[in-house]
Amino acid sequence: MTSTSSTLWIRVAIAVTVLAWLAYLIPSFVVPLVATGAATSDSISYLIVMTFFAFALVMYLLARQSAVRQHGRRRAPARLESHFATREGSMTVLVPPYTEEVPDVRATVWAAALQEYPKLRVVLLLDDPPRPLEAHIAARLGESRTITDRVALVLAEPSRRFRDELLACEIRLAESSVIAPEAVRELAESYRFAIKRLAAEAAEERAAGGDAAAKVLDDTAHELSRLTRSLHVAIADERRVPPAERMLELHQRLAWTFSADLDTFELDFRRTKSRQPQA
């Protein structure tokens, strides 16, 4: 049954429900009320019950109609690269202070950093005292302070490589929109390099007990693997070489995924400094 016919039958059901309610209301309540000038408690109770049932059924049918219409809408999914290609503004992601274990915080930072956004800054906020007395809090704070540096170190080499390749791609496309098969092979190799780096870091996270961070890295690698397979298809069949616009988008995808700037901001340290008397 098509969505159009389903919508039609739902409208018919709504009309039948309303007519049935009116068919009960008029002879059972309105006519006796006009004739006697008063309504019994039984008739009022029955009217309330029937009205409730009719209202509930109409609400269900309206919700069903909305679901059928929504299901019938078919939209081509937009590519992230096309969506962000014309955006010039930067975005800052604040990772709030957590009392969770360091591996969980690291997973959150990784999830924020590996977003395909052109200009992304990730700031980890720490709310622990700058010099805690408890040994376990001091150890956790020490590890937390290294999270953004560690993530930035992992991203640094791929970021430089992919940004250089993106610039080279832009220069080539400015000269000619013809895509050489060698350019596709080089791009596929860059994707494989990115996947290996993510897989290696995921293995390190998993060995250190950071299963959540490892999953974030694995998911990103899986998405890049999907794009790599499409490039391999193009390598095998030159008739399916991506157009110039798509090649640029794929280069942008790599460069943006590894381009986040990371920093740590200690809230309590700033508050402590602000309370210090001025000389």
pTM above 0.75, yes or no: no
| Same domain (yes/no): 92, 191 | yes
Asked if residue 279 has pLDDT above 70, the reply is: no
| Same domain (yes/no): 121, 214 | yes
Distance between CA atoms of residues 157 and 200, nearest Å: 14
| Same domain (yes/no): 42, 149 | no
pLDDT tens digits, residue range 121-130? 999 988 766 6
Looking at every residue in the chain, the average pLDDT score rounds to 83
Domain of 53 in residue numbering reads as: 3-72
The half-sphere exposure of 259 on its side-chain side, counting CA atoms within 13 A, is: 20
Distance between CA atoms of residues 170 and 162, nearest Å: 12
Per-residue model confidence (pLDDT) at position 128: 66
Per-residue model confidence (pLDDT) at position 87: 57
Per-residue model confidence (pLDDT) at position 268: 64
pLDDT tens digits, residue range 202-226? 999 999 888 999 999 999 999 999 9
The string over 22-50, giving b where at least 16 C-beta atoms fall within 10 Å of a residue's C-beta and e elsewhere, is eeeeeeebeeeeeeeeeeeeeeeeebeeb
The answer to whether residue 275 is domain-embedded is: no
| Same domain (yes/no): 68, 123 | no
CA-closest candidate to residue 156, choices 259, 252, 263: 259
Span 138-152, mean pLDDT? 85
CA-closest candidate to residue 161, choices 187, 135, 133: 187
Domain boundary among 72, 103, 132: 72
**Confidence tier at 169 by pLDDT (50, 70, 90):** very high
The most distant pair of C-alpha atoms in the chain lies apart, rounded to whole Å, by 93
Residue 208 DSSP one-character state: T
Q: Which of 29-43, 75-89, 97-111 has the lowest mean pLDDT?
A: 75-89
SS3 262: strand
Highest mean pLDDT among 2-16, 62-76, 90-104, 220-234: 220-234
| Same domain (yes/no): 106, 148 | yes
Specify the higher pLDDT residue, 43 or 76. 43
Letter for the amino acid at 83?
H
Per-residue model confidence (pLDDT) at position 73: 60
pLDDT tens digits, residue range 11-67? 888 899 889 888 888 888 888 777 777 777 777 888 888 888 888 888 988 888 888
Residue 260 in tokens: 């986040």
List the end-to-end C-alpha distance of the chain, in Å, as a whole number: 80
The percent helix, strand, coil of the chain (3-state, each to 5) is 70, 5, 20
| Same domain (yes/no): 208, 254 | yes
